[in-house]
Structure 1
Amino acid sequence: MNNSAKRTKIEELGPYLEAGEYIMDNSEARIAFRLAEKDHPIVAGAFDASALDQVQPIIIEGNASKQFPGKILWFCSNGDIKIFSDTNTLILSSTKEHYQQKFQYYKTFSSFFQMPKLLSHDSGNCILTEELIDFRSKTEEDDPLILSTIYHDYRNYFAKKQATAVYRSMDELLTTSSNAVNKQDFERLLNMIDPQLLEAAFPFLPLHGDLWTDNLLVAKSDDQVWYIDWDTAGEYYFLFDFFKFMWNELDVHDNRSYYERYLSGDFDDQFTELFAIFNLEFQPAHKKDYLLLFFLNFMLDEGKIPYEVKLMEWADFQRKVLD
């Protein structure tokens, strides 16, 4: 959807937006927000206020048929649209499948990870409402809180799901994934992984699939960490979310600290304990291989990310990690 189509869509969604002037963000045009919300944490970093004079606002009129008091609109990469009020999030699912997946994700993960509660649903129109977490902007001082929360939650989740994990090798995925027909695209990756680890069976289980600080909210009231945006959840190699977190932070935020701390051994004790849950032995000498197995899983996964997007990320991974 181009910018012009998005502007039209925003106007169509007027019944879900409070009256006022709305601005689209300056970069990817993924966010539209009422001008009064320009300092909201959801908007922060997406809009350059110095360019305000160059942006044509979208006027949303007031009327008596408002169905939701939205102030910020987000175009999701999967086609869904999220509209935020002061207290709730309205989710307009682009397909019935996406709508049903929201329920499945909540059922699977909410017992182990703090997730916004599902408050209401409209199956006919594929619309859901969930609570909005009142969160604050994160700083480097939040790193210990975020890391300890992730470790504690995943350790608990692994312990409860250990008996139902499915064990697969990457060699097996290379024979079953439709993306394997393109393995010449990532031959370098295959050649860098110890062949014994390609043959080894590792646990696969349902995971978030896109863990990073943008999908972790720190609540203003009590500093508790909340997990959001489960749209790429699926069955992954058990270390997938840990390495996706490191990679996303490196790739998007240019923050190499988590990756470098992992390689230097800062997290060896934690990884040793996570491996032990599945009766496996963490071998520090293979730290780089474990990371590469994650990226191979990413390339072979047949989930919701188009293969063309994976290729672009693979190019970035080579440049930022392997070269």
Structure 2
Amino acid sequence: MNLFNLIKYINFRFREKKKLATKMKSYFKTNSEFLTSGTYSLAKSESGKIIAYKHNSRNKFFVEKIVDTGYIFSDWQNRIKSNIRQFVDLVIDIPTIKIKSLKPSFNGELIMVTYNQDVKIFDLKSKTVVNLVKDNHSYLKLIKTTNIFKDYFDIPIISSNPIKQTYIERFIDFKPYSNWSLGEKEDAVRTIFSNYKNYFIYCSANSHFISRDIRDELAILKNLCDGSELLATLSTVIKNSLDSEWTYVNCHGDMVFSNILLYKKNYYIIDWIDSGKHIFFYDLFNFMFGEATFHRNYYYLEKFISGTFDHYLSGVFKLFNHTYDKEKKIYYLALFLINRIRFRIENKNDENLVAVFSSYHDTFNTFVKKIKSMEKKTVC
């Protein structure tokens, strides 16, 4: 990055901060009943969440935790940009927002806007979070899913209000994912896998599932993003498969470590807005794939390749009358990705879609290479 581009980027960051302040003012206006009066500072996480908070030590400490996602950038240019952004934020006078609320119904001091424009407002003093969901369909789906999942997972939702499309959560003073030990990550995986098996038993016993033909899913995808290299790769993987009918159940939809909050050896699942019908092993594969794609950590995909999860997956597949074949791991990952891509296109509406698909493709290709490398070692 030369000096001209550096100056250009600093100017861009300055303008971005001003736009951020303008954008946040509209959210303050529509949600003033939940916020206390005062001056709010602005921040933005690496994952794109916009945050405004009253500047005290309690709020500042929490913002530092949620901005610290542990994300590892995929190339040196992005790493440099991240460092420059942090530097610019230090030297540029970031705009603040002043609000005055007469009689707030909730003593919020921190507001966060998610990628889909939903809002989370935190009262850290009383350890409570109010969530405002913009889309009614998404809200009803979230409440329905969590009402089922709460019997199998720790979910901090306390109450909901369908009229206002809000729900209240207990604030979890979590340990940042970047500070988790390997033992804590392993314990989280064991806990999540065990909970999912119990949930799958419930789904199977109560016929809470549907069947879909993966070829139909692929045909829909071709209409949505024809010409994608990743889609062409996945099409090649599944085209000769005879088992095209697959079981779909309600899933979390974004099961990654950043949506698992660790507090006093308990694992709480948050952010259910992506919940919906997916292929039954979707969430299990999502955390392995997400860890490799966004953290460059292939540890769990390598455990999958080595057969660590074979016995567990075999039992889960049987619950839905499928036969698990340990030689078809590339195929299973392709099935997951077809689901993931379709959901991303239909629901995320993000401008970085091409870059995201490129990252997915890189991870998938690396996975295939690792499997082929293991096969060669086995033959030798």
The answer to whether the superposition gives a TM-score over 0.5 is yes
Q: Which moved more, 1:78-87 or 1:295-304?
A: 295-304
* Cα shift readout 1:66-100 (whole Å, capped 9, x = no counterpart): 22222322111122111111211111222333333
- Residue 321 of structure 1: aligned partner: 364
- Cα distance between partner residues in 1 of 2:49 and 2:211: 41
SS of residue matched to 1:280: coil
The alpha carbon displacement at 1:208 in A equals 0.8
Contact 1:16 1:66 (C-alpha < 8 Å) held by counterparts: yes
Structure 1 residue 65 displacement after superposition = 1.6
The corresponding residue for 2:232 is: 187
Query: Which residue in 1 is equivalent to 2:266?
Result: 224
Contact 1:75/1:81 (8 A) holds in 2: yes
Could you tell me how far 1:4 is from its partner in structure 2? 3.9
Structure that is richer in helix per residue:
2
Please give the TM-score of this superposition, normalised by the length of structure 1.
0.86
Return the alpha-carbon distance in structure 1 between the equivalents of residues 155 and 262 of structure 2.
Answer: 12
Equivalent residues of 1:80, 1:94 under 8 A apart:
yes
8 Å contact 2:248–2:278 — kept in the other structure?
A: yes
| Residue 136 in structure 1 maps to residue 178 in structure 2 | no
Taking only the aligned residue pairs, the percentage that are identical comes to 22
Aligned positions of 1:108-257 closer than 5 A? 108-121=148-161, 123=163, 125-138=164-177, 139-140=180-181, 141-162=183-204, 163-175=207-219, 177=220, 180=223, 182-185=225-228, 186-193=231-238, 195-196=240-241, 199-220=243-264, 223-257=265-299
Answer whether contact 2:49 2:114 (CA < 8 A) is retained.
Answer: no
SS in 2 for 1:191: helix
- Structure 1 residues without counterparts, runs of 5 or longer: none
1:24 equivalent in alignment to 2:62: no
Give yes or no for contact 1:30–1:75 (8 Å, CA) kept in 2: yes
Amino acid at match of 2:347: K
1:80 aligned to 2:118? yes
For residues 307 and 190 of structure 1, the distance between their equivalents in structure 2, rounded to whole angstroms, comes to 24
Which has the larger displacement, 57-66 or 146-155?
A: 57-66
Q: Is the contact between residue 210 and residue 232 of structure 1 (CA under 8 Å) also seen in structure 2?
A: yes
Structure 1 residues 263 and 119: CA distance shift in structure 2, 3 A: same
Partner of 2:330: 288
1:304 to 338, 347, 353: 347
Residue 253 of structure 1 aligns with an amino acid whose one-letter code is H
1:30-70, Cα deviation, whole Å (9 max, x unpaired): 22233322221653417959944424242434654222222
* Residue type at the aligned position of 1:206: N
Shift in Å, 1:206: 0.7
Task: Report SS of the residue matched to 1:39.
Answer: helix
For structure 1, which segment, 107-116 or 53-62, has the greater mean C-alpha deviation from structure 2 after superposition? 53-62
Q: Quote the residue 1:35 is aligned against.
A: 55
Counterpart-to-counterpart distance in 2, 1:193 and 1:262:
19
Q: Is 1:100 aligned with 2:123?
A: no
| Contact 2:193 2:284 (8 Å CA) reproduced | no
1:215 is displaced (CA, Å) by: 0.7
Distance apart, 1:171 and its partner CA: 1.4
Which 5+ residue runs of structure 2 have no aligned equivalent? 1-15, 70-84, 367-380
Q: How many residues align?
A: 318
Q: For the pair shown, which has the larger CA radius of gyration, 1 or 2?
A: 2
In 2 relative to 1, CA 6–224 (structure 1 residues): closer, same or farther, beyond 3 Å? same
| Structure 1 residue identity aligned to 2:129 | T
1:71–1:84 Cα contact (<8 Å) kept: yes
Q: Hey, what's the Cα distance between the residues in 2 that align with 1:256 and 1:288?
A: 15
Within 1, Cα distance between the matches of 2:145 and 2:103? 32
What SS does the corresponding residue of 2:291 show, helix, strand or coil?
Answer: helix
Name the CA shift for 1:29/1:4 in 2 (closer, same or farther; >3 Å): farther
Q: Report the aligned-residue RMSD.
A: 2.8
